[in-house]
Amino acid sequence: MSSSPLQIVILAAGQGKRMRSSLPKVLQPLGGQPLIRHVLAVAETLLRDAGSAARPVLVYGHGGDQLQAALADADCRWSHQTSQRGTGDALASALPQLTPDGRVLVLCSDVPLLRTQTLRTLLQVPDGTLGILTAILDDPTGYGRMLRDAQGHVQAIVEQRDATAEQLALHEVNTGTLLIPAGRLAGWLGQLKADNAQGEWYLTDIVAMAVADGVPVVGVPAAAEAEIMGINDRAQLARCEREFQRRQAQRLLLEGVTLRDPARLDVRGDVTVGRDVEIDVNVILEGHVALADGVRVGAHCILRDAVIEAGARIEPFSLVDGARVGPGAVVGPYARLRPGTQLAADVHVGNFVEVKNSRLAPGAKANHLSYLGDADVGARVNIGAGTITCNYDGANKHRTVIGDDAFIGSNSSLVAPVSIGAGATIGAGSVISRDAPAGGLTVTRAPQKSLPGWQRPRKKTGQ
């Protein structure tokens, strides 16, 4: 990479009418993140590689308030394109934040799949050269065509609406990514005219200006067509999503993960994995997910901001959200772990069990049809089917504390705040609203009665 100073401008002012959405196009999600986040991440990496302290400049127009709110934590500079008069006008709006030193890399916010390595190749062009990232497409519809002379030298770029039939037959296209000598930029932008089919200032017109000024122009081909896919409508967004997910699956496969079907996995965040991890079909991984050695994730599970420790199993149709699952633990099938849940080693949380903001100590079990909210459950505790912690009094949340080795009988209600002593047994069907002593049996059942001769009501004849 050249030692010449690098500056980056990201064009994000387009309205995106074809998305048919109140959300600006660049905020549409790809892999769980707005499109613009993917482009910003690449820009930040390139600037860091170049040792540049300059922050990327983001040119915005439509939906500026939404965009700035969504990127409030982004380390970038903002430039407002007050009137959308084309890509040349967009870059011109960023000029006050640029210096005439080095090179300016122009990226498009709706081209989110460009790899860092491809852009590093573009940055290898010599200083003082105008570099263009190009691609050869079977179907170049919608792209500007690269015009070359008989010797193969780039002469200009013609946009599709302004192209002749002969030019439209060309298959080499401009991807919208340009590397421009910074010292030339202001002069070239000042010469732009809107004498074209769209009445806009085309940034691509600077290519012919560079040729006229004797500035070398080099086309650098993208490594793969998928990298340069632009997004203008929902169909294109869906195609990019599939390519993004294919990349995520490929990365996990190369890291040693067994994917039962790589085409049926969605990664919408950051995933770290240990050895011998297995993931079944239709699993969604969102946010920050860590899967340790030997973890198995069953079909149709959703893991969001979750840590799954070594040897744990997440059985099919389970949701783990903001929770930590200890080593050797088993969750599901059909279980839900909500934020704040921590399962220690060898805990079992079975089918149709919901756990929220609770800690379950080693060996505790809640195998079916229970709700544990705001609870501290001791080691080796058994939670019977149908048990609930009544943690909410209509205004405030309260905690339930269950000591080690306690046994909670089926269909029990523990009304918090309440403590169950170590080794205590709660009889099935009990409603416990006062502390239960350690080691004893606590029961709150009403006496059982049978009424001889009682008959069930019957419908009257004719009803």
Enzyme catalytic residues:
368
| Residue 441: strand pairing partners | 425
H/E stretch holding 349 reads strand 348-351
Long-range contacts of 327-334 (CB under 8 A, 24+ apart): 327/292, 332/298, 332/301, 333/298
What is the distance between the alpha carbons of residues 144 and 169, in angstroms, rounded to a whole number? 11
- Burial category of 265 from C-beta neighbours within 10 Å (exposed 0-12, middle 13-18, buried 19 and up): buried
- Burial category of 412 from C-beta neighbours within 10 Å (exposed 0-12, middle 13-18, buried 19 and up): buried
What is the distance between the alpha carbons of residues 170 and 65, in angstroms, rounded to a whole number? 40
Structure tokens given for 104? 């300016």
Phi, psi of 409 (to 5 degrees): -65, 160
What is the distance between the alpha carbons of residues 392 and 220, in angstroms, rounded to a whole number? 63
What is the distance between the alpha carbons of residues 288 and 304, in angstroms, rounded to a whole number? 7
What DSSP designation does 452 have? T
Contact 219, 121 (CB under 8 A): no
Of residues 89, 69, 55, the one with CA closest to residue 26: 69
Cβ neighbours of 143 (radius 10 Å):
22
What is the distance between the alpha carbons of residues 296 and 355, in angstroms, rounded to a whole number? 20
Q: Which residue has the tokens 């632009």?
A: 230
149-187 exposure pattern, b = at least 16 Cβ within 10 A, e = fewer: eeeeebebbbbeeebeeebeebebbbbbbbbbbbebbee
Do strands 145-148 and 302-304 pair parallel, antiparallel, or not at all (unpaired)? unpaired
229-264 exposure pattern, b = at least 16 Cβ within 10 A, e = fewer: bbbeeeebbeebbebbbeebbeebeeeebebeebeb
